[in-house]
Amino acid sequence: MIRVFIVAASPLARAGLQSLLPTRDVELVGSAPNFESLAGQWPDLEAEIVLVEASGEQFEALMDSLVASELASEATIVVLSDHSEPTWLAEALRAGVRAVLPSDISSEQLVAALEAAAAGLIVMHPAEVSAMFPATEPASHPLAELIEPLTPRESKVLEMLASGLTNKEIAARLAISEHTAKFHVASILGKLGAGTRTEAVTLGIRRGLVLL
């Protein structure tokens, strides 16, 4: 059983949070409109978690109140908010908040988050994680210049490889022997540093030698 105290400025928000907390898993020990009001009740509550509804709150004022109350050193703070800016999230964690969750979280998700936070874990919704740690594109390393450029005939053969033509079809298109076509393909693979025809086409595209 987790003992929870709710902090939410709006009576409607407090009632909404109460409805999300199932009595079999959570014991609601009280509620208050702000941290200042909570401070007077705290010594007698023995609450494990302070659940804060902060959707309509100004971030700076909320964090200032939390730090001033020193509640983060005495209880686990879980914040529900519509904010997802990386700066907001970082400041919240530095202020001692253990969980940052969207305000439209489901009852099951909320209880799971409360249990994890009570166990000492930091909990964040995937949307908040994405905001705080945005994916970065891997740096593309520029290709080195070819030691020996392709000849005009080899460039033509490479384009045909990109079109999926076989050596026999390439030979017929260029009116050369199949043996000569194979020689051109081998030369292309060697110059591009490719092990297969497919790799040669891929490298050719990256180098701008093949137009799609």
Taking the C-alpha atoms of residue 5 and residue 28, their distance in angstroms, rounded to an integer, is 6
What pLDDT is recorded for position 82? 74
pLDDT of residue 61: 76
Burial 32-64 (b: 16+ CB within 10 A, else e): bebbeebeeebeeeebbbbbbbbbebeeeebbe
Q: Which domain holds residue 119?
A: 2-132
Residue 25 has what pLDDT?
A: 78
Separation of alpha carbons 137 and 51, rounded Å: 36
178 and 115 inside one domain? no
Residue 146 domain-assigned (yes or no): no
H or E element that contains 127: helix 126-132
In the prediction, which pLDDT does 177 show?
Answer: 92
Residue 113: burial class (beta carbons within 10 Å; 0-12, 13-18, 19+): buried
Report the domain count for the chain. Answer: 2
Any idea what the CATH number is for the domain that residue 93 is in? 3.40.50.2300
Q: What is the pLDDT of residue 22?
A: 74
As to burial, measured by CB atoms within 10 angstroms (0-12 exposed, 13-18 middle, 19+ buried), residue 157 is: buried
Domain contains 180: yes
Task: Say yes or no: 156 and 192 in one domain.
Answer: yes
29: nearest Cα among 7, 62, 9: 7
The structure's pTM equals 0.58
Looking at the domain assignment, is residue 195 inside a domain?
yes
Do 110 and 33 belong to one domain?
yes
Residues 113-165: pLDDT tens digits?
898 998 888 888 776 666 666 555 554 556 677 888 999 999 999 999 988 89
pLDDT at 188: 92
Collect the ranges in the chain with pLDDT lower than 50. Answer: 139
- The amino acid that residue 199 corresponds to is E
Q: Is residue 123 part of a domain?
A: yes
147 in a domain, yes or no? Answer: no
Residues 55 and 122 in one domain: yes
> Same domain for 9 and 75?
yes
What residues are paired with 4 via a beta bridge? 28, 49
Position 133 scores a pLDDT of: 62
